[in-house]
Structure 1
Amino acid sequence: MVLGNVRKVDFHCDVLSKLLEDPTLSFIQDDQRKLDVTLPRLKQAESVFQTFAVYVPERTDKTMVPILQSIDLFYRKVLSAPEMTFIRTAGDVKALQRKPGAIGAMLSLEGADGLQGDLAMLRILFALGVRAAGLTWNHANWGADGVLEHRGGGLTKKGRAFVEECNRLGILLDVSHLSDRAFWDMLQATVKPVIASHSNSRSLCPHPRNLTDEQIKALLAAGGLIGVTFVPQFVSSRVPAEIADVLRHVERICEFGGERQLMFGSDFDGIDRYVNDLTHPGEVHRLLDALLAKYPEALVKSFFEENALSFLSMHLPR
């Protein structure tokens, strides 16, 4: 069974990182199949919105230069497609929903190392259109410890200032890569709901990048949004991971009352292994079919589209 008119929102992909490493790749038409997320595949998936992460690979200098280069690639190689609509405001989201065939494109920052603690750089990124930000990747930087940093530190003084400035500007805060202590510090420091753009349940799959039951409950209680991800090692400890395993994470979040705060954050182009039968946007219909076998049509539509777009309409700048 396939539900018509279910447009797809994906809150995390790493296309820009691949374009940064190889600017000859084409998002608009990738004949060599070196990208998971391309315009033809987004159309195939009936996508309505895609977040493009600015992630600077670890071997690259941690300065503003590769961040700005990534944003330049977004403007030149993604927004150059007439179907792609830049999302910066709540008004943009509402207009998107009235444009048949349009696909919203939002910029997020995955790791703020390159800002080097200077909030003027954050304000520049906001002016360029960045509307979500994760303070760390997996390791430590000037603002906080990431989830794989062994000491497990929380937010620094500059990290707390970063949270305050994001709140003031209207940049969504993303907790997906924070250490456990930094997660709790951020929830205490922010005055606005946060997102976990691409994280699953740690109680189902014990990877440190996943969220504990207590974290999921706290994020939901604070009005936040959680994106179930397709990263195989975050989905299941067994190999290969299956779509049925992804469903278990959806079920877990729903058990905590999160059915209206759940979305998807694929991490396509940031992974080199895949859940079986879920290797690019054009295959997301298989997940849709599996969800329709368990949940009402209206709820499945909220998972894929309405929850995320409603959240953006409420929390992006006016």
Structure 2
Amino acid sequence: MTYPIADLHCDLLSFLAAVPGADAFSKDQIPCAFPWLQEGEVKMQVMAIFTNVDQSSMKMAGMQAEIFYDLLRKEEKTVAMFDSDFLKNHTSDDRIGIIASVENAAGFGHEKATWPEIYKQFDRMLATVGQLAYISLTHHTENRFGGGNYTEGIGLKEDGKRLLDYMVGKKIPIDLSHTSDLLAEGILNHIDRHNLHIPIIASHSNFRALWDNKRNLTDEFAQEVIKRGGIIGVNFLREFLDQNVPERLFEHILHGNKMCEDAICFGADFFYTQNFPEESRQPLYFPLAENAGKYPSILESLSKTLSESHLKKLAFENVFNFYRNLWS
């Protein structure tokens, strides 16, 4: 069973920036290599600009933005910019539509950066990549903007409020996938208090009701994303599904589909695994979802439970509709 696939998160850019000899076309190196994406019928792929919280964050983010720019020009037979024009013409274009995102706003400003430097970095990166699919203020840890998903009791900081204010009018969603619960609450409260027009998504998150992990959304936050017209991308990592039961992936998808069939989509979170430091988490993916070539078989398994219209929404329509509405 094949449908076009839209996926809200992979880490191909940080792989190309940081790994010696990295090859975007090598199926042996990374599970979101272009041949895997093609095999899985992926039509739209978000590529995250990921950085750690350190002094090199702005440099690394800028480098990944340039890599994205170069992919569009050097690999134009394989990829095209995912934008309004691509959405209009995607049925007649065999290429993969790609768009960048920012995973960790430390890429806009390290801890000692001034606000003029942050604004300049933001504007330069946006000009380089053309558009951003979303911005995550944090990753796992704390930064100047707020608390990451593994930091208890740290919410939205003053710098986080200032960055949200700067996003207004740019049609860039804010992503709740890597927030602490207190940061997610702070983001929603700040947006509501000041009536900011900033869309809310969760790009690559599962459901805490099914698997108790801080990276997963509570149903309360999932409902907030849904209420605000956002989308939720299901993550394929074992750590956030269930350590031992592969089929739990389908349960997370069905849980999201039951909440709102117009919001659930894919956010696989494929990245370079060969230098991953935590042995206990290996293998990082179950075989049924270990690379981007697995989408057709995943949909085939779900076809026993979901109707064709629901499968199409999950596969690509919810993502395409979200960005079509956002950019209209």
Output the TM-score relative to the length of structure 1: 0.90
Q: Which residue, out of 284, 290, 298, partners 2:301?
A: 290
Residue identity matched to 1:140: E
Shift of 1:286: 1.8
In the alignment, which residue of structure 1 is the partner of 2:69?
75
DSSP 3-state at the match of 2:94: coil
DSSP 3-state at the match of 1:168: coil
Identity of aligned residues (%): 25
- Taking the TM superposition and a 5 Å limit, the aligned residue runs for 1:1-318 are 2=1, 4=2, 6-27=3-24, 29-30=25-26, 33-57=28-52, 61-77=55-71, 79-81=73-75, 82-87=77-82, 89-95=83-89, 97-116=90-109, 118-129=118-129, 130-131=131-132, 132-150=134-152, 152-190=153-191, 191-236=197-242, 238-239=243-244, 241-242=245-246, 244-256=247-259, 258-269=260-271, 273-316=284-327
Shift of 1:83: 2.4
Residue identity matched to 2:300: D
Shift of 1:207: 0.3
Residue identity matched to 2:221: Q
Distance 2:97 2:174 in 1: 19
Distance 1:55 1:138 in 2: 12
Residue identity matched to 2:189: Q
Distance 1:49 1:255 in 2: 24
Q: How many residues align?
A: 304
Alpha-carbon distance change, 25 to 270 in structure 1, aligned in 2, over 3 angstroms: closer
Residue ranges of structure 2 left out of the alignment (5+ in a row): 110-114, 192-196, 274-282
Shift of 1:282: 0.8
DSSP 3-state at the match of 1:192: coil
Residue identity matched to 1:127: A
Distance 2:88 2:208 in 1: 34
CA contact (8 A) 2:72 2:81 kept: no
Residue ranges of structure 1 left out of the alignment (5+ in a row): none
Residues 33-62 of structure 1 show CA distances to partners (whole Å, capped at 9, x for unaligned) of 11111121111111110000011246x644
Shift of 1:203: 0.9
Output the TM-score relative to the length of structure 2: 0.87
Shift of 1:91: 3.5
Q: Which runs of 4+ in 1 moved over 6 A?
A: none
- Aligned alpha-carbon RMSD (Å): 1.9
Distance 1:275 1:138 in 2: 22
Alpha-carbon distance change, 35 to 148 in structure 1, aligned in 2, over 3 angstroms: same
CA contact (8 A) 2:69 2:128 kept: no
CA contact (8 A) 1:176 1:197 kept: yes
Shift of 1:270: 5.5
DSSP 3-state at the match of 1:277: helix
DSSP 3-state at the match of 1:198: coil
Distance 2:94 2:215 in 1: 34
DSSP 3-state at the match of 2:74: coil
Shift of 1:192: 2.9
